[in-house]
Amino acid sequence: MKHIRGFASDNNASVHPKVMEALVNANDGHAIGYGGDKITERTQQLFKKVFGKEVETFFVYNGTGANVISIQALTHSFNAVVCAHTAHINVDECGAPEKLSGCKLLPITTNNGKITVEQISQYMHGFGFEHHAQPKLISITQATELGTVYTIDEVRTIADYVHGLGLYLHLDGARLANAAVALDCSLADITFNAGVDVLSFGGTKNGLMFGEAVVFANAQLADNVKYIRKQSTQLHSKMRYTAAQFEALLTNDLWKENASHANIMARKLETGIRQLNNVKLTQPVDSNGIFAIVPKGTIAKLQEEYFFYIWDESRSEVRWMTSFDTQEEDIEGFLEVLKREVG
Ligand X SMILES: Cc1ncc(COP(=O)(O)O)c(C=O)c1O
Q: Which residues bind ligand X (CB under 6 A)?
A: 62-64, 88, 141, 145, 172, 174, 204
Q: How far is the CB of 140 from ligand X (least distance, A)?
A: 10
**Phi, psi (degrees; rounded to nearest 5) at 104:** -90, 135
Q: Report the C-alpha gap between 142 and 9 in whole angstroms.
A: 16
Q: How far is the CB of 66 from ligand X (least distance, A)?
A: 7
**Closer residue to ligand X, CB minimum distance, 148 or 342:** 148
Taking residue 172's Cβ as centre, other Cβ atoms within 10 Å add up to 28
Q: How far is the CB of 266 from ligand X (least distance, A)?
A: 15
Whether the upstream peptide bond of residue 243 has omega within 30° of 0, thus cis, is no
Nearest to 212 by CA among 182, 260, 249: 249
**Closer residue to ligand X, CB minimum distance, 113 or 195:** 113
**Closer residue to ligand X, CB minimum distance, 320 or 342:** 320
Do 40 and 235 form a contact (C-beta atoms < 8 A)?
no
Q: How far is the CB of 156 from ligand X (least distance, A)?
A: 21
Do 2 and 305 form a contact (C-beta atoms < 8 A)?
yes
**Closer residue to ligand X, CB minimum distance, 194 or 208:** 208
- Cβ neighbours of residue 152 closer than 8 Å, sequence gap 6 or more: 183, 185, 189, 190, 193, 194
**Closer residue to ligand X, CB minimum distance, 174 or 249:** 174
Closest-CB residue for ligand X?
Answer: 63
Q: How far is the CB of 38 from ligand X (least distance, A)?
A: 26
Which H or E element spans position 20?
helix 17-26
